[in-house]
């Protein structure tokens, strides 16, 4: 007698997919052959690397602004979002951005402060769904950008993209 199918098929990435992504990112980070400086100083790739790193820092600072806006609008989710926000701060810093205490972060010392999203949905559920969509979209953009950047930056982008996918999952499925 065959087993009946499960009552519902869960949406989003499966646990194995997330673990495989995290393992792949860890493997990529461990394969570094040296510092990224030598890769950046070869030919014209320095400007491509510099631009990609600056954009990644701006994107992370913008995402940090979204987290801050949601936390401000819905203080009840502050404890839940705290660890994810802390990771986004580390991502911003990993790409060369700076974050000062009490600010949403900047992409570089001379860049203007990232402004949070102008409007946050009225319900916590909708605000978290919008934040998850932003995490997912940024993770997808970073995964696409991997093809255009050299070694060390590609490894960091892969790691941060995997973390973003995990954040999106935790923001949606983690609450169930």
Question: Distance between CA 104 and CA 72 in Å, rounded?
Answer: 12
Query: What's this model's pTM, rounded to 2 decimal places?
Result: 0.68
Contacts 24+ apart (CB under 8 A), 84-88: 84/167, 84/170, 84/171, 87/163, 87/167, 88/60, 88/63, 88/64, 88/167
Percent share of the chain, pLDDT over 70 = 63
User: Could you report the per-residue pLDDT of 97-151, keeping only the tens digit for each?
Assistant: 988 765 544 444 333 344 444 589 999 999 999 999 999 999 999 999 998 898 8
> Ranked by mean pLDDT, which of 35-44, 93-102, 153-162 comes out on top?
153-162
Q: Where does the pLDDT of residue 18 fall: very low under 50, low under 70, confident under 90, or very high at 90 and above?
A: low
User: Could you report the per-residue pLDDT of 85-95, keeping only the tens digit for each?
Assistant: 999 999 999 99
Question: Distance between CA 51 and CA 45 in Å, rounded?
Answer: 10
Q: Where does the pLDDT of residue 47 fall: very low under 50, low under 70, confident under 90, or very high at 90 and above?
A: confident
CATH architecture of 46-175: Up-down Bundle (1.20)
User: Could you report the per-residue pLDDT of 21-34, keeping only the tens digit for each?
Assistant: 554 544 444 444 44
User: Could you report the per-residue pLDDT of 48-88, keeping only the tens digit for each?
Assistant: 889 999 999 999 999 999 999 999 999 999 999 999 999 99
- Output the pLDDT for position 73: 95
Please, are residues 167 and 135 in contact by the beta-carbon 8 Å criterion? Answer: yes
Closest CA to 64 of 46, 82, 51: 82
């Amino acid at each position: 007698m065959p087993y009946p199918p499960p009552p519902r098929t869960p949406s989003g990435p499966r646990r194995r997919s997330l673990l495989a992504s995290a393992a792949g990112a860890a493997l990529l980070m461990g394969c570094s052959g040296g510092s990224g400086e030598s890769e950046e100083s070869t030919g014209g790739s320095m400007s491509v690397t510099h631009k990609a790193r600056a954009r990644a820092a701006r994107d992370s600072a913008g995402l940090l602004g979204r987290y801050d806006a949601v936390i401000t609008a819905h203080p009840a989710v502050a404890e839940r979002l705290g660890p994810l926000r802390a990771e986004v701060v580390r991502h911003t810093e990993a790409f060369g951005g700076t974050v000062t205490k009490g600010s949403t972060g900047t992409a570089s010392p001379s860049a203007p402060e990232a402004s949070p999203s102008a409007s946050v949905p009225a319900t916590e559920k909708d605000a978290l769904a919008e934040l998850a969509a932003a995490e997912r979209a940024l993770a997808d953009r970073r995964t696409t950008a991997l093809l255009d950047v050299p070694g060390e930056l590609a490894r960091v982008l892969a790691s941060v993209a995997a973390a973003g996918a995990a954040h999106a999952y935790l923001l949606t499925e983690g609450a169930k």
